[in-house]
Structure 1
Amino acid sequence: MSISIDEVSFAAGNIVIVNGVSLTVEKGKVLGLLGPNGSGKSSLLRLICRLRRVRSGIIRLGDDDISSLPRAALARRVAFVEQQSTTDTQLTVRDVVRLGRTPHRGLLSSWGAGDDAAVDEALSRVGMQERAGQLWQTLSGGERQRVHIARSLAQAPSELLLDEPTNHLDIQHQLDILSLISKLGITCIVALHDLNLAAMFCDRLAVIQKGEVVASGAPEDVLTEDMIGRVFGVRAHVQKSAVHGRHHIQYLMD
């Protein structure tokens, strides 16, 4: 397994936010992390990249316990794309993507041809190479998200974590971003709110409620009418789409 989470718990003060979570993600696969607001999705992502410290349990990347990995080694391996990230500094698109090379460079090392190649490839993969010289502040929301993903790809990670990457984007950019993520070929965990998008683009799903995994598996096994009602509190009709072959959810009015 690329990512293995074994009975992991996390608390803020006396409030348990992640409670005994166990999950695995196969190499190169996309796991969609679903759940209501405040269910613990973002906290779990931060635990994986060690921005938070587990109270109990073990998180492994391959055979390595993340608690034993040097910070620099973990930064070279795991990239994290947060919901919102902005700056008032006048940076070009290329400047932002260049930041992804930071974990690979020592304090005294100079910028090299390999760094340029990594940045160019990352920009190309997200379709932003023609915007490389454009100021970050002039980009649309969808374009900024593409640049954030390019920055993470320039980091050359083996695991990529994304927290609501489609938040506040229009439907075209939501589809573009998730299609891009699904085709990267690296291990991804992506927290999402939209169940239909999760069904379309994720290999497997895990549903978190009140800090605990209440369902996990293939999208067609997880996205049931019963689960949607219990976890999200809405009535739904679930059927296989004649268009893309994945499950499709229709929400029903009371």
Structure 2
Amino acid sequence: MTITAREVRWGTAGKMIVDGVTLDAVPGRMLGLIGPNGSGKSSLLRLICRLRRVAGGVIRLDGADMAGMARQVIARRIALVEQQATTEAEITVLDVVRLGRTPHRGALSPWTERDGEAVEAALRHVGMAGRRDQSWHTLSGGERQRVHIARALAQTPSELLLDEPTNHLDVQHQLEILALVRRLPVTSIVALHDLNLAAMFCDEIAVLREGRVVSAGPPDAVLTAAMIREVFGVKACVERSPHHGRLHVQFLVD
């Protein structure tokens, strides 16, 4: 396992947000985090990349307790793509992606050939190499998300965390972004709202409710009508699609 969490706890303002979470990220595979709003998905991702400190339990990277690791060391291994951000600055696609090299450079370090190669590879991975000089403000939502992923890839991470990467995107861009992530040679942990996207792209799924993992495993084992009714409070029919063989969740309205 690359990332493991054992009985991880964190809270704020007297409320426990992440409450005893245990999970494993399998190398080279995609782990999906699903659950209602406020279930702790985003907070857990921030704990994993140590933007927040755990109040209890332990998160390990390749068996080592991350609490004892320097932030720069973690940033060279783990990249986080947060929900879409905006900026008023006049910047280009290349400017944004170059920021991904920050963990590998000192404050006064010159730009190196290795930095340039990492940025170029990241742009190619997301299909934005031809847009390098385009203004950030002229990009569509899907294109901006690709650039965010490219910035993360410029860190040359082995683990990639994504917080609702398909939020506010149309269906085409949702599918394109998750297909892109799935093709990347990294271990990924992705917080998602859409159960069908989780079923389509994730190798394993962990279901969170009120900060706790209530179910975890492959989509076939986790995405059941009983779980959806219990966790999300809605009725659903879960069937295997005759078109692609994956599970499909159909929500039922009385």
State the TM bucket, normalised to the shorter chain: over 0.9
Aligned partner of 1:21 in structure 2 is 21
Is 1:182 the counterpart of 2:163? The answer is no
Aligned partner of 1:107 in structure 2 is 107
How many angstroms does 1:84 deviate by?
Answer: 2.3
Distance 1:159 1:189 in 2: 8
Cα deviations by residue, 1:165-215 (Å, 9 ceiling, x for unpaired)? 000000000000000011102110000000000000000000000000000
Distance 2:250 2:231 in 1: 16
8 A Cα contact 1:200 1:244, kept in partner? no
* Secondary structure class of the residue paired with 1:207: strand
Aligned partner of 2:137 in structure 1 is 137
Structure 2: which 5+ runs fail to align? none
Distance 1:223 1:235 in 2: 12
Q: How does 1:200-239 map to 2 (within 5 A)?
A: 200-239=200-239
Distance 1:26 1:157 in 2: 15
How many angstroms does 1:237 deviate by?
Answer: 0.5
How many angstroms does 1:155 deviate by?
Answer: 0.4
* Secondary structure class of the residue paired with 1:83: coil
Distance 1:216 1:245 in 2: 21
Aligned partner of 1:156 in structure 2 is 156
Counterpart of 1:82, as a letter, is E
* Secondary structure class of the residue paired with 1:114: helix
After the TM superposition, which parts of structure 1 deviate over 2 Å for at least 4 consecutive aligned residues? none
Aligned partner of 1:71 in structure 2 is 71
Counterpart of 2:76, as a letter, is R
Distance 1:113 1:198 in 2: 38
Distance 1:39 1:33 in 2: 10
Q: Report the TM-score when normalising by structure 2.
A: 0.99
Counterpart of 1:216, as a letter, is A
Is 1:7 the counterpart of 2:7? The answer is yes
Counterpart of 1:200, as a letter, is M
RMSD of Structure 2 on Structure 1 (CA) = 0.7
Distance 2:251 2:13 in 1: 37
Distance 2:243 2:2 in 1: 32
How many angstroms does 1:219 deviate by?
Answer: 0.3
Structure 1: which 5+ runs fail to align? none
8 A Cα contact 1:32 1:189, kept in partner? yes
Counterpart of 1:11, as a letter, is G
Is 1:84 the counterpart of 2:84? The answer is yes
Distance 2:195 2:107 in 1: 44
Distance 1:67 1:130 in 2: 40
Counterpart of 2:71, as a letter, is R
Alignment size in residue pairs: 254
Distance 1:92 1:107 in 2: 22
Distance 1:35 1:62 in 2: 27
Distance 2:159 2:207 in 1: 20
* Secondary structure class of the residue paired with 1:190: strand
